[in-house]
Amino acid sequence: MKIIVGLGNPGDKYEYTYHNVGWLAIDVLADRLGVKINTKECDSLTGLKSVNGEKIVLAKPQTYMNLSGNAVKQLLGRYKATPSELIVVYDDIDIEKGTSRYRVKGSAGTHNGMRDIIAKIGTENFERVRVGTGKVPENVPLISYVLMTIPDTERRIVADGVKDAVDKILAIISK
């Protein structure tokens, strides 16, 4: 069992923001696996697939970012999964655009969605794939940066980071 959760914010105005690259990764992963993300459960939109005999749940929480832990906790309960079966994919300002990084565990850093997940499930011990969104420009507040629409000139670079994250997730679930 793997529950793969992409972090983002609901609503059209957030669709192509840096803070929604986790959702973008779930969309790309669903496309590559042939999964429809259309079931409403656990404050999320989900889709299911069996890969090498293992159940895979793809999820896009429909809560705002800072309440992502509610959806993750519900998903773990619904599927009787442990945090060791969880992978969270999300944006990270400390990673270069166009890249991603995998970690087995760790702190939330400055990410409020991850802070909420860690608080709600009571552990930092779960896998995560962080998609680089680059450093916040000087004189731009963090919240303004992560919620800004990704400029057309940077969408290809960000898409490369999303693809890299999806490749990492596929490698994890194919083991």
Catalytic residues: 19
Tokens coding 170: 């596929």
Per the CB < 8 A criterion, the answer to whether 99 and 164 are in contact is yes
Residue with tokens 């991850």: 114
**In sequence order, what are the residues at sequence separation of 6 or more whose Cβ sits closer than 8 angstroms to the Cβ of residue 123?**
83
**Of 123, 97, 94, 96, which Cα lies nearest the Cα of 111?**
94
Residues 152-174: b if buried by 16+ CB within 10 A, e if exposed: eeeeebbebbbbbbbebbeeebe
